[in-house]
Amino acid sequence: MLVVLGLLIVISFYIFLKSIRIVVNGQVLVVERFGKVRTISKPGLTFIMPFADKVRAVVSLNDQTLKYKAENVSTRDRKKVNVDVSIVYIIEDPIKAVYEINDLNKGLEYIINTTLIAETSTFLYNDLYLQRGTLLERIKEQLVAAEDGWGIKVKEVNILDINLILK
């Protein structure tokens, strides 16, 4: 009888510990109940129902940076260049950022890469440095088009470097 009571106390304590989550500042938890979104837990102490609720994702609401290097991009005069791009974005809608796209960073990289391939092919290599502003505008336009669907806000886009690939 004492063993059963001890086992019951241990199991109850385990369930109690599994039901408490601490969310730090700058983050939120996307919590599902039986596969459906139940709530977005704000910073502080959060209680979830063990075995029914699941933390789907921990989402940072701080500014996030993404660096991407597009390699072997051709210019109009058929020169190959590497272009380093960085973006700063913030997640405004955690539910869209989690459910509307599988991998947010890969999606952003895809947009940057396809835009760079399309736009650099319209410039000569010698004009590419002079047209950095135009290139940045095109990248930002494409990223802004994805903002609402993915629940993000692009704050800044920069071209860090353009390097000619010597054969």
Q: What is the CATH number of domain 64-164?
A: 3.30.479.30
Among candidate residues 48, 65, 64, the one with its CA nearest the CA of residue 56? 48
Positions of CATH 3.30.479.30 in the chain: 64-164
pLDDT tens digit string along 30-42?
Answer: 999 998 999 899 9
pLDDT tens digit string along 60-107?
Answer: 999 999 999 988 888 888 889 999 999 999 999 999 999 999 999 999
Residue 60 gets the label, from left (phi > 0), alpha (psi -120 to 50) or beta, of beta
**Helix-then-strand count for the chain, H and E:** 5, 8
